[in-house]
């Protein structure tokens, strides 16, 4: 049996209390992930880590928007298509594309548009892997003579990119927003794929949703590692339908201590 780990966005800004978008519980999640890797390095054949990576002028950051008085929205503000159409919130860049994005996002029916604190800025400390996980990854690489694979997402500033496999709203002219079939094929080589990371309510859930929707060959290989992920505060309910669908399709859910017994 060959095993792979898919570790979502285990980065400083999400996993360290000083991070700009710290997810409560994530620091302990990282310790459990690192322990899993350290204790079972010989049984883990491949590790993919994802890296949420943004520019300052991102559609989900405050500076991208203002109101009629020039005031930017506060983090955790929800911006609706109706508010854009009425002029309550005005996109400062690529206005028509931004308006279309929010309309398309709402039409998809999964998420409305949220403004987040600036986070995981390209080149910043916040975008780096948490040191505890990185140390475990380096030790695994030295033991197994193979590198972990790092996959960036989120660099296209006109769409959220919660799930690792594609942007929330893809643009045919922007390849990095399209379905990442190479990553799907890479993971399909393994008998079991263990999914974990941050945040359970957003990027892990959307990565899971994209597997359910676009990678049927991975569904029966998938294990959700339940004690290696945490929700953004007060937003866990957003992902409840995704995890319910996964259970209905017989995706397995295990705690890290029950793996490789």
Cα(133)–Cα(138) distance, integer angstroms: 9
Q: Return the bridge partners of 195, or none.
A: 6, 224
Do 138 and 79 share a domain, yes or no? no
| 139-165 average pLDDT score | 97
If asked whether residues 71 and 97 sit together in one domain, one would say yes
Same domain, yes or no: 132 and 195: yes
Is the model's pTM score more than 0.75?
Answer: yes
Per-residue pLDDT, 108: 85
Q: Residues 22, 130: one domain?
A: yes
Q: What domain count does the chain have?
A: 2
- The answer on 142 and 35 residing in a single domain is yes
**Are 178 and 67 contained in the same domain?**
no
Please tell me whether residues 110 and 220 are part of one structural domain. Answer: no
Q: Are residues 205 and 250 in the same domain?
A: yes
Where is pLDDT greater, at 260 or 95?
Answer: 95
Range of the domain at 66: 62-114
Per-residue pLDDT tens for 192-230? 999 999 999 999 999 999 999 999 999 999 999 999 999
With a cut of 90, say whether residue 175 has pLDDT above it. yes
pLDDT tens-digit profile of 5-30?
Answer: 999 999 999 999 999 999 999 999 99
Tell whether 93 and 210 lie within a shared domain. Answer: no
Q: How far apart are CA 52 and CA 130, in angstroms?
A: 13
């Amino acid at each position: 049996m060959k095993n792979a780990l898919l570790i979502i966005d285990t980065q400083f800004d999400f996993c360290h209390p000083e991070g700009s978008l710290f997810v409560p519980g994530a620091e302990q999640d990282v310790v459990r992930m690192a322990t899993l890797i350290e204790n079972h390095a010989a049984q883990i054949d491949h590790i993919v880590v994802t890296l949420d990576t943004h520019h300052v002028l991102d559609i989900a950051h405050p500076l991208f928007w203002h109101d009629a008085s020039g005031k930017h929205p506060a983090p955790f503000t929800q911006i609706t298509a109706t508010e854009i159409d009425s002029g309550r919130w005005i996109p400062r860049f690529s206005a028509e594309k931004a308006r279309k994005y929010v309309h398309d996002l709402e039409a998809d029916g999964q998420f409305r548009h949220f403004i987040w604190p600036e986070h995981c800025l390209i080149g910043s400390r916040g975008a780096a892997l948490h040191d505890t996980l990185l140390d475990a990854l380096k030790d695994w690489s030295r033991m197994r003579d193979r590198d972990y694979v790092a996959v960036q997402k989120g660099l296209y500033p006109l769409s959220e990119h919660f799930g690792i496999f594609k942007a929330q709203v893809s643009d045919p002219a922007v390849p990095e927003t399209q379905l990442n079939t190479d990553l799907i094929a890479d993971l399909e080589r393994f008998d079991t794929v263990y999914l974990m990371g941050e945040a359970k309510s957003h990027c892990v859930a959307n990565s899971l949703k994209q597997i359910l929707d676009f990678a049927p060959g991975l569904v029966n290989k998938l294990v959700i590692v339940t004690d290696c992920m945490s929700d953004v505060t007060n937003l866990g309910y957003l992902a409840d339908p995704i995890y319910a669908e996964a259970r209905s399709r017989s995706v397995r859910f295990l705690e890290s201590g029950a793996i490789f017994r």
